Amino acid sequence: MLLRAGKYLTQDYLHRVLQDRHPDELTLDLTDAQFVNPAGLVVLAVLLDMAAAEEWFTEVELPRSDDVQKYLSRMGLQELLDAAEAKCLLPQVRHHPPNLRFVPLQRFDSSHPAEDICDLVLARLDAWGDGILQGTLYNALIELGLNIEEHAQESGFVAAQCYKQQTVSLAVGDFGVGIHGSLAAAGHPFPTPADAIIKAVTTRLSAKEKDGGAGLPEIQRIFDRHKGRMTIVSGGESVRFRPGSAPRPSVSGYPSPGTFLFGELPWR
Amino acid sequence: MGSTTTIDAPSRMGRRAQAVELLADLPRSLVGAEVTVAFPDIAFATTSFIDEVIRSVLVDRQADRLSLQNANEQVREIACGSAGDLGVTSRLTISPA
């Protein structure tokens, strides 16, 4: 897998930067990256975690930008670089007192349940908008974590950040079998990954597990109710969900292991 | 006349299992009874938790009425959505914070 970042490493540029070039190898070329958001960060985390799990040869070129290097360090990427034996060192940044604009990368798996992010999120909520935005973020992040626990076969990651009291950006991702594969295995085959994403978001396809999360339809409802935007990438295709608009699929054909959800909520 | 049970909700409400635990002492059937869930002044809730409370009290245990007291705007939004999905809106009372 090759990821060669341009100036922006965000959800809107993923289709340009990911290539399935070398099996059993991961190359992350971040040299030109000047802006990385939680979406780009979670993609890096998932790729590095996959490389570590599969014992791929991993090569990473760090960004030229000191600011981006510090951002990646602040958001907790060093631990994943080390686990993938990438042999590169991000600059150290002060973590205390915590910067309230960021929810750093947080892993979800059976030994890191969704509640683990509660303290991280709640510690920051006083600084993040009014009670409604705070409650919405709490709801969205915990539900997304529960969803990963329920559906991802491996671990997943979440990260979030608020931007100048205007927008809160959050991202989750995992390298499970993806929505298309997951639904097919459950007896719900769909012609394309985008079809599967839309169906999973707009229809309750399976009965709720007793301890399952709210599921994608409710997560989409959370974003819609608060005029937020959501993009889901799975199986190499993506679908954008915007308030009051029909889902917009994009068949880009780029390799994306697992499933990613990128969301933005307006500050209110 | 039916009984009324009041339960204090925690300030952080997460997964369904937490709601199941909160309601564990309620009888299996609440036919003829009312349940009040009182929320603290500062409360963070997930859709899963509120949905499970409404489902468990009004659908599974068939209580006559569920009252959510001191519910903030977020809890009210979630509760209205869940009650609508479950078809139990007429048996849900919400008192705002």
ipTM at complex level: 0.88
Q: What is the pLDDT of residue B94?
A: 97
List the single residue in A with minimal CA-CA distance to B43: A135
Q: What is the pLDDT of residue A152?
A: 61
Q: What is the pLDDT of residue A182?
A: 82
Instruction: Judge: A131–B74 Cβ closer than 8 Å, yes or no.
Output: yes
Residue % of chain A over a pLDDT of 90: 34
Contact status of B31 with chain A (Cβ, < 8 Å): no
Instruction: Judge: B46–A142 Cβ closer than 8 Å, yes or no.
Output: yes
* A184 touches A164 (CB < 8 A): no
Contact status of B78 with chain A (Cβ, < 8 Å): yes
For chain A, what are the domain ranges?
Answer: 1-94, 101-268
Instruction: Judge: A146–B20 Cβ closer than 8 Å, yes or no.
Output: no
Q: What average pLDDT does the structure give for chain B?
A: 93
CA distance A72 to A43: 12
Q: What is the pLDDT of residue A209?
A: 45
CA distance, residue A126 to nearest chain B CA (Å): 11
Right CATH for A1-94 from 3.30.2010, 1.10.3470, 3.30.750, 1.20.1630: 3.30.750
pTM of the model as a whole = 0.85
Contact status of B45 with chain A (Cβ, < 8 Å): yes
Contact status of A43 with chain B (Cβ, < 8 Å): no
Helix (H, G, I), strand (E, B) or coil at A171: strand
CA distance B64 to B30: 7
Task: Classify domain A101-268 at the CATH topology level.
Answer: Heat Shock Protein 90 (3.30.565)
Helix (H) or strand (E) holding B49: helix B47-54
pLDDT digits over A93-111, tens only?
A: 887 666 778 888 988 876 7
Residues of A in contact with B47 (CB under 8 A): 139, 143, 214, 218, 221-222
